[in-house]
Structure 1
Amino acid sequence: MKTFNEKLANWIHATPAKEAGINNIQIPGQPELLVWQTRYKAPTRYEQDFVEYLIHAFSTGITELDALVESLNLQGFRCESGELWTLENFSHEMQRLGY
């Protein structure tokens, strides 16, 4: 079973076609149902770890962004670049990972 939708990679920054039937994500009448419809690539180890640290932070009752950033730093999880988390780079990372 595929873990991401390979057809979505072609749609990143794509310009929609004006003609019907061109550049479809799926062939009309023949959709291939995937478990992960919105992923264009498999998640990296960093992304998987990020989720685990976020789950841990949320499970402690954190609901505010500044407390979440502080929790990631206290847990020892760093940005992909190795820097400590800030409100700014956390927001940027969430936008980047939101595909």
Structure 2
Amino acid sequence: MPDYQYPSLDPHQTRTHEPTQWQKELANAIESVFVKGARELDEVVAGLNGTRVRPPNGADWTPENFTALMRELGA
């Protein structure tokens, strides 16, 4: 009987393709916002609005467009 191996976490296990440059910049911006202490959706949105990364339509981030994009990206 083989030794049991704990399942490993692959952070890209649901990825179907390589992220675009914009997606990489968004991920970095989100990480930066969390590092600065944001925990609630409104804090994340406000933090993203303080970055140069904008939603695909170029407008400001809102709770609605942020959550819709996260659903679309499968996050």
Structure 2 length-normalised TM? 0.78
Which residue number in structure 2 is paired with residue 43 of structure 1? Answer: 19
Q: Structure 2: how far apart are the matches of 1:96 and 1:57?
A: 20
Q: Give the gaps of 5 or more residues in structure 2.
A: 1-10
Provide closer, same or farther for how the CA distance between residues 36 and 90 of structure 1 changes in structure 2, counting only shifts above 3 A: closer
1:91 alignment partner, SS class = helix
Percent identity of paired positions between Structure 1 and Structure 2: 35
- For the pair shown, which has the larger CA radius of gyration, 1 or 2? 1
**What's the CA shift string for 1:14-49, capped at 9, x where partnerless?**
xxxxxxxxxxxxxxxxxxxxx944211111111101
Q: Could you say what the CA RMSD is over the residues aligned between the two structures, in angstroms?
A: 1.9
Which residue number in structure 1 is paired with residue 53 of structure 2? Answer: 77
Which residue number in structure 2 is paired with residue 95 of structure 1? Answer: 71
Q: How many residues align?
A: 66
Structure 1 length-normalised TM? 0.60
